Structure 1
Amino acid sequence: MDRMPSWIRQHVAALRALLVLTAVTGIIYPLLTTGVAQALFNNKANGSPIEKDGKTVGSAIIGQSFGDADGNPVKKYFQSRPSAAGDGYDPTSTAASNLGPEDVLDTLPVPGAKDEEGNPDEGKQSLLTQVCARSKAVGELEGVSGARPFCTSDGVGAVLKVFPDRAVSVNQACPATPFIATYQGLKVECGKPGEDYAAGRTVPVRGSASTPAVPADAVTASASGLDPHISVAYAELQAPRVAKERGLALDKVKTLINENTTGRALGFMGEPAVNVLELNLALDRR
């Protein structure tokens, strides 16, 4: 070895380091941590699976849909919060929408137009319109008002583009009737798909809606898109529907909500939350 040129000795040393580090970090460490996890936290290490009649039906830490084949809510079940993970609740595509509070303008679909893949143009909903549409749908499902500030009655963002001689309700495609007839003396028009309104001043209109009956977690997705919990307020909003569909007393359903509610982390962090899957399974056992 002493007779080897220095550059060969350097390469041999690098190769040894590579082999040692590969064995330690790629084999020994993963086996050690996996063994400790399986020994001490077996259920959590395996994804906290929940079984029903001997079959795994979900995870206590991963949200899922409780809808039918067409995506419509199954009324006898409590519904999860919305998901932006893949096509919804996809653990392999966990992600948020990355849309923020300033995302209020829709891209209206142009009739007859197609996207780059040859599919019909579907446009793009802003975060505001997504929230408005979800609130309207939840309100209709639960029999309460789905109205929210900055939302129109037909479930899109109440946003104007204001020009010197006119105003346009840009999220309401023609021939829709604008949510207000005039704005500061200007006639309000419906939005024309494909028209460029960038030069106008963006004006969200709050409207007359006060405190929404539909909670915020019912209309917004979590950062992961896989949140297994909903707020106590959202669970209580759904309780009358579930009780009616199952022929149960409302008090019994509320008792199950309480039994499946977790407190604040460490007693002071966050808010109490209800695990939707565990609550629905508790209902099925009744």
Structure 2
Amino acid sequence: MRKKVLNYNKNDKDVDVASMAWLAKISQWLHHFIFELRCSLPNRCLLCQQRIEQQGYQQSFPNRVLTGICQTCLVSGLYQTEVCLGCAKPLTRLQEFCGQCMASLPIKVIAPCSYHQGFGPLVSAIKYHRQMAALNVLSQQLAYRIQQLVNYGLIDLPQVIIPVPLHANRLGQRGFNQAWLIAKQLSELLDIPMDDQFIFRCQDTSPQAGLDGKQRRDNCHQAFALKAQQQYFNAKGSIARYQHVALVDDVVTTGTTINEIALLLKQHQIASQAWCLARAEAPELR
């Protein structure tokens, strides 16, 4: 009787393995079918209205479909030269900072393009109109730019990606946090974990749009805090989990929000850099 039970269990296990293999094949086939279907659907550029051709885009981003922006508009809208990682001033040679930023060593801000050179309306549409068509491609280009700068030796990859948080009231009004969506994409593209719990917004500040530099600084002063959770702290009360993080937002303008969070992190000996879809440079640099 015991022998029969053992044989039955073995056969049952064989059936489970075969079922799992069959389900894996079905899943792979469905994934391929959905990918091919997305490639064949009408897909027009938001800027020039022409049909978007893939033209080998998957060679750079496997299993990802180019949507929202055609390759011609995409190339024309990206940075055409190296730029300072501090202020985005165009540079004639590959280096981290321009001469002025070398003196102050500001937080490094990595972006694939200028907000004022074609993609600004698309980035704004993500936040204010929930039009997500350009989010994937701009996130992919940001990931490519990050990896490029890593290969150049100008930046190091962080331990974790942290989206700039919204206050609970603003999140409830808007329904989503665009920084979280971008960070999620980058986490998948770069294989770096995302932590959306470490930092929270403790003050429901006014929107930064339309404020001058001083008003922005006053608006964001002490607006953020760290979660006092045991998983982040060691026995001495110091944060031991992270030493280097990347802060993610849709646009960096004056850098007030990013700098406020970076200052908070620096107080706990945590280095930071900023990643964004587009950089809104100062007027004299446009």
What TM-score do you get using the length of structure 1 for normalisation? 0.28
Question: If you compute each CA radius of gyration, which structure gives the higher value, 1 or 2?
Answer: 1
Structure having the higher helix fraction is 2
